[in-house]
Structure 1
Amino acid sequence: MGLVHDATVRIHRPGSGYAHDGPGGDFLGSGFFIAPSWILTCAHVAMRGEGGVVNVWFKEDRYSTELSEVPGKVVAAMPGARPQGATGWPAPDLALIKLQRPVEHTCVYVTERSEAMLRSREIHCVGWAPSQGGGLLKRSGVCVVKGAYGASDDAEQVVRLDGDWLEPGMSGGPVVDLARGEVVGVIKSRLDHHQGGTAVGIERLRTLKVPSAPVETEGDDTYQSVFHAHDRYHADRHNSPASTERTWADVQSELSPPPGGVLGPKRRADLLGRLAEFPPPVSTRGLLLLLDALPGVHSRDHRPAPRGWRDGLGALYDTRARDRDAPLELVLRYCMGVLAADRPFDVPSTRTAAKSLWEWVKRIAEEELSRDFRRQLAMEWAAVRLRLEENRRRALAPPGAPVRHGERAYVLLELEPQGWARNRYDWRIGVARHTGEMLPVAEDSQGTALDTLPDRLAAALTEAFRRCDEPGSPALLQVCVTPALFGLEVDRWELPSDGLPLGVVRPVVLRSSYHGPADERLARWKAMRDTGMRAEVVDCENELRVRVPEVAQLRTLAHESVPVLCRYGDRPDPGITAGAVRVLDTGFGMALLQRRPTETDTVCKEFHRRVAEAVSDARARDGLPLKLHELRKGVSAQRTETYWSDGVALFYDDPHHPLPGADEFLEAP
């Protein structure tokens, strides 16, 4: 219940002017984090916000009693409005709220079974409600499932609850089956002057509208995006050696008997995380055909129909075993079906996901199943591998010509710390042409305080951009600083001319006057012109912070490697800065740095996963500044699939365009 309480939130109207804990009318109801940056609540709670926008109050630090506030936007509501003349909000009465900026928070574990709440006996309800003292307090109670209004194939099915009192404001809160340790539903309503109320099963989210256009990315289908993020979240925390917190899999393992059947909670969390690395099923029909091909599985009995890989796994739990090994064999056959299934789209990480899932299947089969069954699996994997290799060859087809940043003008901002005045900087701004000519715009050697730089430089930067921007194609901004200042977030500065962060308007990269041997720089830079690139995390191993290797070891990395500093942070200490210098000493012309603060127990697997995809997608060196620009625009546009990149900076140093010397840079009168 502690894990549930940590993830349960309050939902308010934005900017109502009432005290948040007072008796004012800004409090709308409850909700809970179902996945990173996603909240599940009732439609009748979420849609009372103005313009589909609400404020979410949540617990950012589980050891603190203070709540933090973040804005959220309703992305999906079922239904989206109350029918005229209706006294209540019709079922399923569910809504998904997407946070409008990235924050750290915990998430609940959601069941993958169909009609899990109706199979529960005693359930716990959690939510916020007004207290007698006039504020808001978290409230929990125990209810008993008494049945349902509507059949399983009825779109408006709701579950009847009896038992404890459900208070006003608890609508949208989670319903928890403590026997299995999972969230199975959402509180919908209470009974006036009586105990109990109604709730909606979590599986009703499967009725969320299927996109009409082809699904080309995970984010194109909200249902798949949310549940893939949910499953990766729990798998990453369960598998991370860095995290010291008790996970859902840990506490579920202590239940008697532990849920998950032959898998158990820990194997189940691991498997669901691996399945979430794949593109979703092409269609519900395709998933049903896969399930129907398995012995003893009656997929049509599950209402609403399974829609994602996790739903398909949940459909296997009810199959009656013909012998001891049958349940586990069924799970592994299902995994092989996922490996062989058609995909709505393909990404470079799919190949890695397939190998990871096969290794899991092979390990489980070797530990527990017969040799004959293992031989069948090996033959199936051989056929799948041939198909994956063919997909890989198609993906490596020569791409279209990328933008060559070296062939057009860019803006250069140089910041130099004053050795005699702490935290004060001289600066110079110019426009660099592809011919090597540097046109001065403005400079100041009087020393500017770091926190006043954005305002002080705004006019000069605006003028420089005006000189080299082209319609629909903003010029690149290169920021030259010492490695100790790589944490300076110039990409977040805003110019009055457009009111948006610089990194959203244009590509922004870092440079340094300090770099490695010229011949090594040129060799590495040349190797990345048109070939594929791959990310190499150099300061984090198994999600634990490690020292950046020495130059001799860094030199063993392939020329197409892009070093990634996962733990650079916003205020690097001398040891971290020295690690960045070693990367430059090795001649790397590109490196990625995560500047968001991290703790020693930070779970960073999602960052590793996504940064590898981003580098691979960029294909060649000139595509990486554009890729990062695209990600920054995604964060600004509140696309949750890009939130992982918040705080990432790119070091991008083209040896063919060296920085001008101090004596030849700006000679403005």
Structure 2
Amino acid sequence: MATPPDRGELWQLTEEATVGLGAPPPSDDGLPIVAQRGSRALWGSGFLVAPGWVLTCAHVLVDGPGRRARRAVRPDGTDVGVYVDGRVLRGRVAYSMPLPRAARSGPHGPDSATDLLVSEADMAAPATDRSGPDLALVALLDPMDRERCAWLTDRPPGEFGSGGIVGRFAHPSGVPGHSEPESLSCGYGGTTGTRIKFELRADMRPGTSGGPLVDLERGEIVGVVKARFREGGSGIAVAVSGLRALTAAAHLDGAPDLGPDPYEELMRRHDDWHWHRQHPEHGNGEPTWVDAQRALPRRRGSWGVLDRLEALHQLGAMPPPSTSATVRELAAEALDRTVAHSVAPVGWRDGLGMLHGFGGEGDLAVHLSYLVLVAKWISKHSAEPEAAARARELYESVMKRGHALDAKQRGQLGTLRPRPRAVLLEFDHAPSTPYFDEGEEEVQQYVWSLYKGYEDGRWELARTPPTDGQPFAQARESALDALVGVLEAADATRADDDPVPLEVALPGTEFAAAVAEWEIREDARPSAPHSPMGIDRPVMLRDIERRAQLVDAADVAEQWRARWRGLHRAERLRLLRPAGPPAPLRRAQLKSAPHDSVPVLCQRVTAGSGHVAVQRAVGLGYPVALWRADGHGDEDGCGDACDGFHEGVTTLLDRPGESVRTLPGRLWKLRSGASGTDWLRGLILFYDSPDHPLPTASARPFEPPP
């Protein structure tokens, strides 16, 4: 079929990157190859996304829930043929989401190309189900005559105007290995999660599944064709952002791999290839995707395709972010507002994609701000000299590009300060008084400090702390008075429904303090009413003694980080409870518990088995735990109140698919709006993140990378 006339260069690049998938070439290792029935038919399409890697739909190659079986054509079930440039190259299915079912016995592969058929109800159904995103990666085992690679979008799924789909099919001549592309124009029909609906003027042929969906207005691949509608005239693609679900767990044994973080490594190779193709010393003189993108209309002086090319190349060389939340937070800082997204970001590249279309006239400043924040985050969090040097290079290149900004934007970029990630209120023991009056009882004195914490790891002193210690009750009242203004200023930088979280760091002797129920003035006026802090924002407890413990106990620090990673990776959190008073959680039990475990206690934590259990858990590096401020003593045993408490906590924690990252926010929502939640009374959330350790004795002002 003739190529549609508009955007001819983009169509050509897309067609050249599209391959056919079918039976592998004859074996050269003595293993039997089963001939494909319907000899000239291919199973489906795919396209090259990095040197030696083809992206397609999983159902084209493997069977899965609710799908027609795509059975093995080799005994190991992994080898396929990649049809490109008039040849059939050997390929191996390396990653599949979902993984294939157990191989079935039988001599035959698929009969012919078969696309999935769906209905409008399928499009409206939730896009995240147990079957996975329906994506697979094929590793080429034979070299190509000429490398090529499609440009994958860094944007979350969204609307496009003019688009197209491409498939590759067996050539009518029947010459073995020969194939031809077929292209169809399409329009945008809607998005649900990682599913993109596209509208067609003509029905697509079976075998288009796995081919690319290209946005012709931006010059990038936005999806992988998945299915056609039974009614005709439209189809569904899996958004490129569905690749973010790719982990090492999707790897098939015996196939080439992309290391422990396959998604980020694939994107790094993709971006690196395009950068080198555009480089005068490395390119081959042929038109590139960047050339085609530069020919598209854009606003003069804005963030351009060459800016993006250079930024993605530099970001790919950086250490990865610690969590998805880091990427989201820095993107929100750059935009000065929270960004809604349907697919969580994984790497720095994804954060850059979250900015597209939001900056308006200031989009250059927005993108440069994000890159500065990334450079500063890396300079604070990476101990590797090479990473620090790369962060400096990124920072300096951004400052050079910032010459194009107007005077106000240049000033903002040069003094960029991210919005606070959290406010921290610390209480620590004051030095002992060298003397006191005869007959006077010595009372423990406390000093407090207030900090603003940022996603880049910096802590900034928010108020000058008092020099003299006070009894805890007096120190608390003094600190809460100072806290009002700090919270107001921090909240002003965030959306109304996204108040700054409050972290309260206490020594273990004060772990029975129900910090979320401390009452604070609602504004800075002396006559303002008071309300519990936990109604207005997420509030969590931290351990101030852990700061000193980590200096001398490297094993505890590693356990702290390992358990934090385990909690973030867990699909469902595991509750860890003592057998019952007076038996505390045993040390051996705590040390051997899986990393997705969260201690939950209804006992009093100031004495007895509850006190022992909490101090053991914190001392062994547990980052998250829940207990009651008004827990019962060992002599009382559990009653109806305990049953309600544990039932409520179980409901809070046992949320499949909910990350521990959302726990403080979910608890805040319950406190701020729910009725009939007596189990929340006195509930203390211990939430001590190793990604943001407490400030050292001197919290220095933030500086650009050295």
TM-score, normalising length: structure 2: 0.46
TM-score, normalising length: structure 1: 0.48
